[in-house]
Amino acid sequence: MTEIFQGNFTQQEPIPEEGIEAAIAVMRSGRLHRYNLGPGEVGEVGLLEQEFAASVGAKYALAVASGGYAMGAALRAVGIGPGDKVLTNAFTLAPVPGAIAAVGATPVFVGVTENLTIDLADLEAKAGLARVLMLSHMRGHLADMDRLMAICDAAGVLVIEDCAHTMGAAWRGIPSGRQGVVGCYSMQTYKHINAGEGGFLVTDDDAIAARAIMLSGSYMLYGRHGTPPPEAAFDEVKYTTPNVSGRMDNLRAAILRPQLRNLDAQRDKWNARYRVVEEGLSGTPGLCLTTRPPEETFVGSSIQFLLLDWPSARISEVLARCLKRGVELKWFGGAEPAGFTSRYDSWRYAPSEAMPATDRVLKGIVDMRLPLTFSLEDCAQIARIIRAEVGAVYQAQ
């Protein structure tokens, strides 16, 4: 009898009861705005900023409305604006080039390897074209951060890390987001902690932190932040930095705080599911898995594999056969963007040149979420279905 998977690839875990109770308390108070505080009160957003900064070892954390807002604020805070160029991954999601374009800058795309990390040889070749790299740790894959930072430091390139898929991850024990001058994170529903929408920006730089706080819409109430830089850092920027309001509110912060405390345990659960699927797919003819380096501590909230050099029609057939059996796969190789799976040549506001080696990899990338609502047995069944359908199509080629 043919197996049919009955699970839901977009169903997340419920918000912890502690977060629900804290959110209800905020609603009962009526004080949702982050600056609506009593004397000596830090508030839910300020406490979340303190706790997140401590969790990654940063001096400053700013809680904002979304991960995309965090990236835009980071770019503005390091001085990027109209006419500038910004290096970024060819393999990423639309909010990354969108943040670059939104400040009037132009993305310069850097290639992707078969391990789905930024191509460091291509980065080195293009490092002289821009003074900032917006590094996307796409789908939770960390490049060799030692070599990447050496390339960027030698070229005088500032690194802003997009850690939407790597909150809780690390390279050689250094938390993701802490190698560059700024780290940006997302708390959108499908990320590692869930507020529906939300973001963080972290940095150790006083001036960047001050500019980002002013950008977020502090109305000169920057002293009410959880991790504010010294007053002197605001002396000049408070008069010259526009208000581009993107604050987080106390309601979302209340929901997030208990989730943040549980992030390490959640990472272990995701990785257990990842390893079950990885083991189930290992050795499938025609299917290539990525290699995880020992220096990387990852969060396996999704898994990717490559159907390298397969005809498009055959990849589409695999996706259709898997979907018929309840397994929802996403493909980055389609000619048209679909859902989250747009790619660098889809973004016509961001001009690009052909990248044949990268196009070959992108054409073969198949992506799948691993929500924690799946059991280990679910993951084993999903792997069996994918293995069977890939195998059937491969043998028919």
Q: Which among 321, 326, 272 is positioned nearest to 300, based on CA atoms?
A: 272
CA 264, distance to chain mean position in Å, is 17
The answer to whether 196 and 57 are in contact (CB under 8 A) is no
What's the pLDDT score for residue 65?
98
Q: Are 287 and 390 in contact (CB under 8 A)?
A: yes
Confidence at 336, pLDDT banded by 50, 70, 90: confident
Q: Is residue 197 within 8 Å of residue 65, measured between CB atoms?
A: yes
pLDDT greater than 90 at residue 259: yes
- Percentage of the chain surpassing pLDDT 90? 92
More confident residue, 242 or 338: 242
Fold of the CATH domain 263-396: Aspartate Aminotransferase, domain 1 (3.90.1150)
Q: How confident is the model at residue 345 (pLDDT cuts 50, 70, 90)?
A: confident
Q: Which pLDDT does position 1 carry in this prediction?
A: 57
- CA angle at 260 for the pair 259 and 263, rounded to the nearest 5°: 85
Q: Which amino acid is at 280?
A: G
Q: Classify each residue of 373-393 as buried b or exposed e, where b means 16 or more C-beta atoms within 10 Å of its C-beta.
A: ebeeebbebbbbbbbbbbeeb
Q: Does residue 374 register a pLDDT over 60?
A: yes
pLDDT given for residue 98 in this prediction = 96
CB 140 within 8 A of CB 190: no
Tokens of 178: 């802490």
Kindly tell me if the per-residue pLDDT of 329 is higher than 60: yes
Residue 189 has a CB neighbour count (10 Å cut-off) of 12
Name which of 155, 151, 160 is nearest 181 in CA terms: 160
What's the CA gap between 295 and 320, in Å, rounded?
36
pLDDT of residue 303: 98
What's residue 334's pLDDT?
81
Per-residue pLDDT at 340: 78
Q: Report which of residues 282 and 336 the model is more confident about.
A: 282
263-396 matches 17-261 in CATH topology: no
Domain ranges of the chain: 17-261, 263-396
Number of alpha carbons in the 13 Å side-chain half-sphere of residue 332: 28
**pLDDT tens digits along 161-213:** 999 999 999 999 999 999 999 999 999 999 999 999 999 999 999 999 999 99
pLDDT of residue 269: 98
pLDDT tens digits for range 16-33: 999 999 999 999 999 999
Across the range 268-293, mean pLDDT stands at 97
Rounded Cα–Cα distance for residues 88 and 92 (Å):
8
| pLDDT, tens digit (0-9, with 9 covering 90-100), for 126-137 | 999 999 999 999
pLDDT over 70, % of the chain: 100
Check residues 215 and 353 and name the one with the higher pLDDT: 215
* HEC per residue, the chain: CCCCCCCCCCCCCCCCHHHHHHHHHHHHHCCCCCCCCCCCCCHHHHHHHHHHHHHHCCCEEEEECCHHHHHHHHHHHCCCCCCCEEEEECCCCCHHHHHHHHCCCEEEEECECCCCCECHHHHHHHHHHCCEEEEECHHHCCCCHHHHHHHHHHHCCEEEEECCCCCCCEECCEECCCCCCEEEEECCCCCCCCCCCCEEEEECCHHHHHHHHHHCCCCCCHHHCCCCCCHHHHCCHHHHCCCCCCECCHHHHHHHHHHHHCHHHHHHHHHHHHHHHHHHHCCCCCCEECCCCCCEECCCCEEEEECCCCCHHHHHHHHHHHHHCCCCCEECCCCCCCCCCCCHHHCCCCCCCCCHHHHHHHHHEEEEECCCCCCHHHHHHHHHHHHHHHHHHHHHC
From the list 317, 264, 228, the residue with the least C-alpha distance to 34 is: 228
63-99 in b/e form (b: 16+ CB < 10 A) is: bbbbbbbbbbbbbbbbebeeebbbbbbbbbbbbbbbb
Q: Does residue 316 have a pLDDT over 60?
A: yes
The mean pLDDT value of the chain amounts to 96
Q: What is the pTM of this model?
A: 0.96
pLDDT of the residue at 353: 87
Q: What is the pLDDT of residues 63-95, one digit of tens each?
A: 999 999 999 999 999 999 999 999 999 999 999
Per CATH, the architecture of 17-261 is what?
3-Layer(aba) Sandwich (3.40)
Tokens for 195?
Answer: 């507020």
CA dihedral 141, 144, 150, 151 (to 10 degrees): -60
Q: How far is CA 78 from CA 95, 154, 184, 217, 359, in A?
A: 18, 18, 13, 17, 31
